[in-house]
Amino acid sequence: MENVHAVFNGTFDNLENIKISPLSRAYTFSDSVYEVIPFHNGKGIAFDRHIKRLQKSCNSLSISANIDLISKEIIELINKSKFKDGYVYYQVSRGVDQIRSHMFNADISTETFGYVVEHTFKAQSIKVMLCEDVRWQRCDIKSTSLLGNIMSMNNAKNSGCDEVIMHKDRVITEGGASNVFFASNDCVYTPNLSKNILPGITRELLIEKIKASGINVQEGSFKIDDLTDAKSIWLTSSTKGLAQVIEITNQETNIIVDHPLFLECEKIFKNNFLS
């Protein structure tokens, strides 16, 4: 991509000019964490929550990070871009090894990298497929190690789908790059947080706002069979917002497209964060 504003270890430049060492542990081991910070009208959406999650991810992997400096760099990327809407991708790696080794030196210097992309938050209707969750046991950490997600999502793509809903022994976990919601009997349901589920910021915001509006929300353990009778299913993420599922290709459903409860949740989200 040409003329994309980026920052690497504190130095701002065009993305195409940035060079990263092949011995970066982000490259050799996916020993890094990341955050995707959306912005609307030039202002970060839930900025502080994204920064807090990035700090938590770093702490979980014992990666040192100057969060105050990172926050300033993200804001500067947004300002430099002059985009109305978009997102910043920001990654924090443990650093560069002298030689590839599973064991890292305690004095290794943290490596940081980010760039900004223009993005329009449009309503989406998507087709998904169900798949077994084959990922590691710490999906609550926003790590760049995402091969399980990648394999599942590309299998879905090759089957004509846009996303996946993953499950462990038929218990719903999350989407390939999203959290899962469904509605039935005037109630909104979503899997409760665990080490198998990333604590999505959009998920968190939506739950708070729709609860405040009087909509009943239940967090718990749900099986893929519960999706059969759901009247509405949607996925949430920082770049998707709320994406309505119109079909699960490998399971029968009773989905009502544009169900009133989904439309109400979508309206609440847009009014609070995209107006």
**CA angle, corner 142, sides to 114 and 179, nearest 5?**
115
SS3 state of residue 220: strand
Q: Average of pLDDT values for 110-128?
A: 96
Which sequence positions are flagged as catalytic?
Answer: 142
Q: Average of pLDDT values for 113-127?
A: 95
Q: Which fold is adopted by the domain 5-118?
A: D-amino Acid Aminotransferase; Chain A, domain 1 (3.30.470)
Q: How far apart are CA 57 and CA 68, in angstroms?
A: 15
Give the residue range(s) of CATH 3.20.10.10 domains in the chain.
124-273
Q: What is the pLDDT of residues 47-61, one digit of tens each?
A: 999 999 999 999 999
| Multiple choice CATH, 124-273, 3.40.50.970, 3.40.1370.10, 3.40.1410.10, 3.20.10.10 | 3.20.10.10
The answer to whether 180 and 191 have CB atoms below 8 angstroms apart is yes
The answer to whether 258 and 141 have CB atoms below 8 angstroms apart is no
Q: What is the pLDDT of residues 68-82, one digit of tens each?
A: 999 999 999 999 999
Q: What is the pLDDT of residues 194-211, one digit of tens each?
A: 999 999 999 999 999 999
Distance of CA 6 to the CA centre of its chain: 20
pLDDT band with cut points at 50, 70 and 90 for residue 106: confident
pLDDT value, residue 123:
86
- The candidate with the shortest Cα–Cα distance to 202, out of 87, 82, 112, 31, is 87
Q: How far apart are CA 244 and CA 266, in angstroms?
A: 9
pLDDT value, residue 197:
98
The answer to whether 207 and 236 have CB atoms below 8 angstroms apart is no
pLDDT value, residue 1:
63
Please report the sign of the dihedral spanned by the C-alpha atoms of residue 259, residue 200, residue 121, residue 155. Answer: negative
Q: How far apart are CA 35 and CA 53, in angstroms?
A: 8
Give the residue range(s) of CATH 3.30.470.10 domains in the chain.
5-118
Q: Average of pLDDT values for 125-153?
A: 98
Q: What is the pLDDT of residues 166-176, one digit of tens each?
A: 999 999 999 99
pLDDT value, residue 39:
97
Question: For the chain, what is the mean pLDDT?
Answer: 97
Q: How far apart are CA 40 and CA 275, in angstroms?
A: 9
Instruction: Kindly list the distances between the CA atom of residue 33 and the CA atoms of 50, 126, 245, in Å, as whole numbers in the listed order.
Output: 12, 28, 29
